[in-house]
Structure 1
Amino acid sequence: MFPIHVAVAVIQNLEGKILLTRRQEHTHQGGLWEFPGGKVERREDLAQALRREIREELGIEVITHQPLISITHAYPEKTVRLDVHSILKYAGVPYGMEGQPLEWVSIEALHDYPMPAADRPICNALKLPDTYLITGPDPKAMKPFLRSLEVSLDQDIKLVQLRAPGLSDDEYRSLAAAAYKLCQRYGAKMLANASLGLIDKIDTDGVHLTSLQLTKLSDRPVSSGKWLAASCHNQRELEQAAALGVDFCVLSPVLATASHPQANPLGWDQFSEHLKHVNMPVYALGGLDRKHIPQAKMAGGQGIAAISALWAQG
């Protein structure tokens, strides 16, 4: 069964709220809230379909947009492929041209609205920033480490993976407690990259699994109220992460890196191809910095993850 290709728009107002529309009761998934959009017709490309659907549904003109996430979801009666784009600029005031109710919703409240299953990964993508900091070296020297972390957070880092493989469990717990307080002060989320035995003993916003940890798990190790992320290097690991219910992944290496010269980089084409088969936000990692964010997004990624490019020297 070929999937139905759907163009989907994420429209944000000046207050940062997202526009949702409610499906008519008589339609497929009727009564549920969704991000506006519709089917890509024959002889249309995605951009043409996006502009036409939003004009017909909401009476506004899409001016500029960029990819956010692609999702393929199989319902019992049909399969859909959603190409979701963030609308960067539009003209006009949205109105329910087909009589559908509209509502502006804060990003934090999106999960409170009943939605089709295919739309749910979009909510995670909207909550995540386009940079994911993996903490740098020398975690045993706590004061300099925390100073570098604070400088990084002051540069608008909002998502942090606390990685300190050389520490004992007790040392990691002490570092995590101080780092978490610092992240909270700056409004950033911190995920712990630690032994699975430490997960319930650390205050954190979530857990980041290594690829080895990922392969050993059959159940989600944290509650749905916390973020779960994973490191992946191939399609098999991405599929394992999806089966486990991971919220987002890091896929590497995209480009060659000095730290892992033996690794064969994926390149942007293979990175993009891998993402077509998973329904979750994915960060590109490996030889990247902030200037690669637009390229990562065009390839279907959430943004970039990095150590040296995002880790400040305190």
Structure 2
Amino acid sequence: VLSVCSSNKPAIVEAGGMQALAMHLGNPSGRLVQNCLWTLRNLSDAATKVEGLEALLQSLVQVLASTDVNIVTCAAGILSNLTCNNQRNKVTVCQAGGVDALVRTVVSAGDREEITEPAVCALRHLTSRHVESEMAQNAVRLHYGLPVIVKLLQPPSRWPLVKAVVGLVRNLALCPANYAPLREHGAVHHLVRLLMRAFNDTQRQRSSSGGGTAGGAYADGVRMEEIVEGAVGALHILARESLNRQLIRQQNVIPIFVQLLFNEIENIQRVAAGVLCELAVEKEGAEMIEAEGATAPLTELLHSRNEGCYSSNYIP
């Protein structure tokens, strides 16, 4: 009960509560383990900067193999929280076999989003911004995670899960060895479909609010602008490869990228400019961009920004 209170959380964490609870995760009593995990999950969002959690993280990776849905749900949620913007924890989880364990968890969970969403979020964290991230990007493919991850971009996945999967796909695309399998499993097609749907939702919302922003279009608590930014960001990275560029050109999505250059959200402008720059590498892409009248605004936007700001810094 104390672990739910926002003022108690930091005090419990500071007093070594996370480490103390971790000591009981190997207990034969499933009920005790479950209670410890619930408490750890409550505390974990206040423990993202705590050091010395290596034993806990290793135990959580092992606990993912449990056949108890509640235990797996808690363990995935704790791993998601503790790997958010924490390089040390990301490395520890990777070295403990966490990528393999999380991929197996996602595969086994099927359509149970209470498991898939935190597991995908943890994988998203592990595949970005730490010394083992490239290994993690490769490991997802080597452990046969790409087909099931791309499948989660489709219905019946709800928007919070879709948002997490889009971010994970973007990170996986940073690894050139993932270009072909992501394409073969339909990642480009699904990202374009999501982009079009989210973009149309934002346009409808804008017209119904008389052209103002009015807080944006929401679905299941997710802003459609976040889906737009995420999908374009992922397509930007995928567009580094020529066959992906060819596929994107065929999807009739360049007019949307061009419209997004004028979006009021700077990050959306940035990723739209990034993907258009990649598409302009080939003559066909450059001609399509020129036909949309976007060459001048794109050039102007690029010149008005500092060099290197189109790296699509999306997802922690």
Same fold (TM over 0.5): no
TM-score by structure 2 length? 0.28
Task: Name the structure with the higher helix share.
Answer: 2
TM-score by structure 1 length? 0.29
Task: Name the structure with the higher strand share.
Answer: 1
